[in-house]
Structures are given as C-alpha cells and as structure tokens.
Structure 1
Amino acid sequence: MKIQKIKNRGVLFTYTTSLGWDLNIHLIMGEKYNYIIDTGLGSLSMEPIREYIKDSNKPIIVINTHYHWDHVWGNGSFQNCIIISHKLCREIIESKWEEMMDKNKQYCQGEVEMYLPNLVFEQELYFPEDKIRIIYTPGHTIDSISVIDEEEKVINVSDNIGDNLDEIIPNIYCEKELYHATLLKYMDMDFDTCISGHNVILGKEIIEKILSIL
C-alpha cells in the first residue's frame, strides 16, 4: 500500500489489487469531519485509514461514489457513521449485492457485509464548515457522484476517469450524453488536482484531454 499526502488536508491510500489494478481510498481531514471517500474491498481495506486518524476526535463521514463492489464493501466498518451516496446508489447496492458477491467474493479483504448508505441525495450536498461539496455526476455509472474540496481545489471524480494513463476513458454504464455533460460540468469547476478511483493523481487538463478524445 502507498500513502500520499494531497496538499494540506488530504491523504490518498493506494492498494494494488490481485486483479492488477490500483484502488484509491481518499481521506479529507476537515475542520469538523473526517471524510472517507469509498470503502474498498472490506474491513481490512479500512484498517490503515482508521489507524491514520485514530487520534482524531472528529466524527467520520463516509462517501460512496457509486455502487460498484470495490467501492462499498468496507461500509460495514462504519455502521455508527453517516454514509452518503446518491439515491440511486443505495437502491442499486441493495438490488445487486448478491450478484456482486457471487461474482467477486474471492477479492474480499476481511469482513464484508451489506451496509447501505444512510444519507442519500439527488443533486448536491454541501458541508460549509469544511467547504466540501458533493454533486451528482453520472458517467461511469448512472449513480456516480464527485466530491470537491473547495478549500484546496481538489476533486475526486471516482471512476469517471479510467483506470490508468493508457485508458483514461472509463467504461460507461449510462448514456454517453450524460458523461459528456458531466465532463463539461467539471470544466466549469475551480480545481487543479484530480483524484480518481484507480488512476494516479492528475491535473485538470485530463478532463480536457478526455473531451478531445470523445
């Protein structure tokens, strides 16, 4: 596992999986809350993050960026916390849980149990004390969301960017027009650092590059 600081209050935990791709878990340490973006492959994925913030007395807010198994399997480690997702994300996790487990259970890391998001939204949530904005950005999936740290101008777009620099366009499981609209929305936002679910840390120019390819 690799741990990288992102500016002043962000930390990126990167795991290399047995499938050959990297998986990023993003921590933002705000003034009021610690925000954990996605929960990886199970309870063992979450242990390094819990250890990192063990001396903090700030409550944890977990954010599921979309329903895919590699982003939600560690939710059970945070049953006393707020877990945020898009409304559709909660619905799809519940409906596809057994299917995801049947197909991918060999990749579980530690304990994995279905624990659904307990705070859902449709368009946007904002945490003004920490300047954290969460917005609906369909693309990779119909339920995809992004998290913007407005104080540090860092955005987490999850899997709306592909897994590596050779494949920057992700698999798209919704209408292509929705993904294009999301990319244009990103272009209007004020950020200079881009975090994704599996790729390396990138700059805003990656969005323009994807648009040019599309």
Structure 2
Amino acid sequence: MDVLEVGQRSFVFSFHEPFLTNVYVILGQKAAYLCDTFLGPDAITQILSWFSENGYDLRRFFVFYSHYHYDHVWGTCTLDSSTVIAHEKCRDLLLEHGESEIQEYGESMIGDVTLVLPNITLRLRIELHHENLIFWHTPGHTSDCASLYDSEDSVLFVGDNVESPIPYVNTPDIDGYLKSLESYLEMDWDLLVPSHDPPMNDANLIRENIDYLSRFWSEEFDSSFDEEATSIRHARNLATVAKCEEMGKSISLEYLRRAREIVERFVDNPTAIKLLKELDELSS
C-alpha cells in the first residue's frame, strides 16, 4: 500500500493487488471521509492502522460510494455505524446485484465481507459546506456513478468514470457519460483521483475518454485501436451495451456483430475466447 499526502487534510491510499485501486481519505472537521472501500475489511484495516501509527485518532467515519461495484464497497463493514453516502440508484443496484457479486467475485475478497447499504442518498447533489465537499451524480461507467469535489485541497475523485486506456461502459447513455466527463473539465482542481489509475495533475485522460466515447457508436472506429487489450475492451463495451434493456433487438444484434468481428481477430487471447462464448450465448 502506497500513501500520497495531498494538501492539508487528504490522503490517497493506493493498493496494487489484485489491481491498482485508490481509496481517497479526507480528514474533515467532524469525521473522516473514505471515498470507496476497496475489496474488504483487511484493506480498510491497513488504512486505519496507518493513521493510528502516524498519530491520528479517527473515531467517526463517513463513506462515499462512487458506484455499486464490489471493488468499491466491500470494505465498509469494518467501520461500525458509519454513514454511507451514494446516489439513490446505488442502493437499488446493491440490493439487486450485491449478493450475486459476492458469489461471482468472492475469491477477490480481502477479509470477511458483509454488504453495507447507503443510508444517505442523493438524486442530484449533496453539499457539505462546513467540510468544503460536494457529492454529485455523474452517470457514466454505471448509471449510479457519483463524484466528489474537495474544494479545500482542490481534489476531484471520479471513481471508474475516468480510466485508461478507455473506460468500461455499462450503460447506453453515452450522452450522459460525456456530460459527466465534460463537467470535470469545468471544475477547478489540481489533482484528479480515478479509482484504477495513478492520481494525476492534468486532464489528458479525461479528454482521451471523451474522444473515445464521442466515437463509440461509429463502426469505423472499431478497427482504430493499436493495442489488442484495448480492442477487446471496446468489444466488451459493445456487448455490454447491447445487453441493456433500453436497446432494441435489431440494434443489440448490430452491436453484438461488431463485437464479434473485433474479438475474432484475437482468437489466441483467453479474454477474447471468453468473450466469444458470451457473444454466442447472447446471440442465440
């Protein structure tokens, strides 16, 4: 675990196994705020131990979920009686998918996990003026995505909405996703904290993600990627969008066809082989 001290009151804790994940922590006036809680109690215990070893006495906790996915919520059960802030859809999606994700991804758990649901939900935004914090709905990676702006230390925490080389897309609302990313460019921040990339001081990755999403619907775009892994991720995004209920059957089949044409170029890649099997099931 690496620790980056930011400004006067904030810290980025970076875990590298099984994949890079950042937990952003703010020491507010009345509580410590943890932005996402990674894969389980043992990870959060490491963070709390670091604070204790460095002379901090943390007693009250607020947790912010950037979205409902397992690798962002599993560690919350370590924090007794914590307040959990998230978008209102996050609570619904955790109720719908939380237990099945435990079954599907349980091998990734770091400690024994009990799901903790949000107990304060937002529709558009929540502002904590006394802490200089804004939480607001930024649909994108998932429909429940929310972001946090820490104006005191000029930090923007964006969860999985910004990711290299391209984001994972789980909703057909590409226009909404683009608006969320564009809103990040309008804010006055010095440090951008994505969940799965190193913290950064510039907006280059945001712009690259905007470029990707702005061309997402174009079939001519499918063959433009230099890296095999990026092409396969794009195919995965097409397949995921095709599964969404909002898509008509003919449109869904079109995106499944596009996804298949991409992954068939990489038949020796295990990830591509797995995706091909999924595409067969979806097309049948």
Q: Aligned partners of 2:195 and 2:208: how far apart in 1?
A: 18
Instruction: Write out per-residue CA displacement over residues 15-59 of structure 1, whole angstroms, 9 at most, x where no aligned residue.
Output: 1123xx201111111222211000111100101222234433552
CA distance in 2, matches of 1:141, 1:68: 9
User: Which whole-Å CA distance do the structure 2 matches of 1:209 and 1:94 have between them?
Assistant: 33
Is 1:191–1:204's contact at 8 Å kept on the other side of the alignment?
no
CA distance in 2, matches of 1:40, 1:100: 14
2:169 pairs with one of 166, 169, 172: 172
Please list, as runs of the form range in 1=range in 2, the aligned pairs for 1:5-44 lying within 5 A after superposition: 5-18=5-18, 21-44=19-42
Partner SS for 2:98? helix
Report the equivalent of 1:210.
209
In structure 1, how many angstroms separate the alpha carbons of the residues matched to 2:58 and 2:13?
21
Q: Deviations over 1:150-182 (max 9, x none)?
A: 1121100010111x4xx1x31111211111010
CA shift, 1:140, in A, is 0.6
Question: 1:148 — aligned with what?
Answer: 149
| Deviation (angstroms), 1:128 | 0.9
Matched, 1:67 2:68: yes
Contact 2:31-2:58 at 8 Å conserved across structures: no
Query: Which structure shows the bigger proportion of residues in strand conformation?
Result: 1
The TM-score normalised by the length of structure 2 is 0.70
Query: What secondary structure is seen at the aligned counterpart in 2 of 1:35?
Result: strand
Separation in 1, partners of 2:202, 2:181 = 11
1:59-89 CA distance string (max 9 Å, x none): 2111111000000111211241111111000
- The number of residue pairs the alignment matches comes to 208
Is 1:184 equivalent to 2:177 in the alignment?
A: no
Tell me how far apart the structure 2 counterparts of residues 128 and 58 of structure 1 sit (CA, whole Å): 21
Q: Select the structure that is richer in helix.
A: 2
Counterpart residue identity of residue 3, structure 1: V
Q: Which residue of 1 aligns with 2:83?
A: 82
Q: Which runs of 4+ in 1 moved over 3 A?
A: 52-55
d(CA) in 1 for partners of 2:57 and 2:170? 38
- 2:233 maps to which residue? none
Question: Does the aligned pair in 1 maintain the 2:31–2:59 contact within 8 Å?
Answer: yes
In structure 2, relative to structure 1, the CA distance for the partners of 1:57 and 1:25 (3 Å cut) is: closer
What corresponds to 1:102 in structure 2? 103
Distance across 1 between alignment mates of 2:17 and 2:95: 25
Bigger RCO (CA 8 Å, 6+ sep): 1
RMSD: 1.5
- Cα distance in 1 for partners of 2:59, 2:136 equals 23
8 Å Cα contact 2:32-2:58 kept in structure 1: no
Stretch moving more, 109-118 or 197-206: 197-206
Contact conserved, 1:136 with 1:146, CA < 8 A, in 2? yes
Amino acid at match of 1:107: S
The AA in structure 2 aligned to 1:31 is Q
Relative to the length of structure 1, the TM-score reads 0.91
Could you say which residue in structure 2 is the equivalent of 1:4? 4
Return the letter of the residue paired with 1:157: V
Q: SS state of the match for residue 202, structure 1?
A: coil
Matches of 1:145 and 1:97, distance apart in 2: 18
AA matched with 1:6: V
